[in-house]
Structure 1
């Protein structure tokens, strides 16, 4: 069992997400814990009002809505009564016993899972501490429940499937098959809150994965001149279709002004060195292999939960790249991530770092050796059996030997570091 915990400050948005699933027949409200009546006798406003009465007791809490999903192995067939029992025990073990909650069973994924909606504000107005809740309480509770009910223990592969394969729990929008506004809202609810983006272009890099775009319009349009923003549906070819929906019509008010405030707050979150290191390592590891094509890089990163959004000019030249890391839910423009990861650098590394470049470099070293220069580089080249052409796969020496061999350093060194140091000119003073 894998538990995923999210915090929010908008109960209406979270409830609306689950209730819309029920309306479309892909979810069922199984339980209304600590409500006066069962879920079948409650409407949307009655469910919402129960939480609002508690949140009114504590105005200082910035986030008072707790949204938890419990994910089970696809081989497990759990009855509704068993799911109710598991949800109740789980809430007790993480310190939410006695809190009102709603339990939804979702059937729109390849594995069984339920959603819990509750609040961290208690009846006396005090808040439940959420710091390290996942590590200190949720993780041990999940292990105990697995043993108690004989559930399949969650391994790293299952956790990656929950966190990475489906980056957001929102259906891709296809125009004409669902209500346009509601379909867009289902995606915005997940993307706007969970992802870290610092510009409208970075936000669109995520939204375009779900056939949606935040559009300011043409520079001469009234929407652009008055600082407006609309959301539009895209078809399979990224063409805008249907009627645009104003940002002000959504409950969260994702207008350009509000988004710009979020851009500023996200800039600090994007300075996390670990998030940057994961992206850089994934890209650099690909270029250590023999095959160095743009298509191969896109496919390799996608397997790691990273999408590359490429931008081409009219001549078919790549001029922009944005990386969307669905695991850490963060977006980086290539130039911001580093010069070696910008569009120009990626294009050069994919075109000129293949087998032909390796042959060219070897030929230059041989010519320098014949002229009496670079003999040290030649001896190093003959000493090791690893080259850029061979790559790490298929080399006669092991991976550890290649990394520790100083003889091969000149060949596998990053292209940015191959710079000759300029000699300083000596100034002679005449007597």
Structure 2
């Protein structure tokens, strides 16, 4: 069982996050200690908020007065509500919150049921509850609870118990901590070669990344900011500079991750290409049908459109392998304009053309040989497609030239010049 503890000063946001899930039927209240219950035997957001606020002194030296914790049993555990209540009681008692007012929510919005506990970090006299070595003590407590209740030990299941990273939710407070948790997980687990591909991964967690250029004492610096979004991808909070989060999430770290990813993804490209090709040869009629069939293949697809409805970008994501690939990175025949043409006229399926994509009976072992025509020029042909997608989704690094064709041509020439220089040196 893994415990995740956070501290915040946003009482309304912390309670609101959990009660919204109750309203949606994605959570339920299991226990409320030292809190008011109405005549119907229910706990409401307004009443719990007023109750907790009344128990705090108006002048309190502690800023982050709210305690928010999630207790996550292993996904294979099937615990009753009574067992979860008992675990919550003993955990809070051992951690020093036994006499504090707190409320326990059971979340069932994902396949792994878990509980959230909201309490106060200060007592009725305004004194802070002892939080020294809190996380270390928490681990000792959860280990003891695992032994007592016969739970699967977190240290003996594939090395660790995987917990699903939640989406960034500004109502929960601690926005910076939420953003830091998501971006560090993504940079550790996923491989990507552009900011556009990174953004498609972050989109799942209601987060976006943007490049910023600043100047300090006459010297130019490149940086990144992370922006919380809603489910539609619209910004809902102020950007957070990577430097405010800490080491390992800034411009240099992300660039290094991209460079390492370019080598790591090479053996995976042919596998992703094969799965996409086999799916497209089933002639999905709509984008929704394509998404459903790719999910059966273990892939997510992220499609970007402009205001007129034209597809300008498509990215395929394998969450298990931790890889995101723009369509153009799979080959010329998988760029966004190919899919736009297909969905504009599904009756004509270019993926059935054996001269371009090979025989439909191609094996997975042979998938690396499935290439569009003129494979020797594929890298240069894909350059324009990749530039179009990158510029459209905001991940293209500015070259100071507004003409993308000219920029692509200059980039191609620079590559050729480097090759020629190497040959001359030899």
Superposition TM-score, scaled by structure 1 size: 0.50
The residue that corresponds to 2:305 in the other structure is none
Secondary structure in 2 matching 1:316? helix
Q: CA deviation at 1:72?
A: 1.1
* Structure 1: gaps spanning 5 or more residues: 171-183, 215-230, 248-253, 324-332, 336-343, 368-431
Aligned length: 281
Q: How does 1:3-402 map to 2 (within 5 A)?
A: 3-37=3-37, 40-56=41-57, 58-135=59-136, 137-155=137-155, 162-163=162-163, 165-166=164-165, 168-169=166-167, 194-196=178-180, 208-209=203-204, 254=237, 263=241, 267-270=243-246, 272-273=247-248, 282-283=257-258, 285-289=260-264, 291=266, 316=388, 318=390, 367=426
Q: Any conservation in 2 of the 1:103–1:115 contact (CA below 8 Å)?
A: yes
Q: Any conservation in 2 of the 1:121–1:128 contact (CA below 8 Å)?
A: yes
Secondary structure in 2 matching 1:318? helix
Q: CA deviation at 1:77?
A: 1.4
- How many Å separate the matches in 2 of 1:63 and 1:100? 16
- How many Å separate the matches in 1 of 2:99 and 2:4? 21
Superposition TM-score, scaled by structure 2 size: 0.51
> Which is further off, 203-212 or 71-80?
203-212
Q: Any conservation in 1 of the 2:7–2:174 contact (CA below 8 Å)?
A: no
Secondary structure in 2 matching 1:7? strand
* Structure 2: gaps spanning 5 or more residues: 182-194, 210-227, 273-314, 330-383, 399-406
- How many Å separate the matches in 2 of 1:290 and 1:118? 45
Q: CA deviation at 1:4?
A: 0.9
Q: CA deviation at 1:306?
A: 8.5
* 1:176-228 CA distance string (max 9 Å, x none): xxxxxxxx866x8575652159xxx99988874357889xxxxxxxxxxxxxx
Q: CA deviation at 1:128?
A: 1.8
* 1:319-376 CA distance string (max 9 Å, x none): 59999xxxxxxxxx999xxxxxxxx9xxx9xxx8xxxx9xx97x889x5xxxxxxxxx
> Which is further off, 297-306 or 20-29?
297-306
Q: CA deviation at 1:152?
A: 0.7
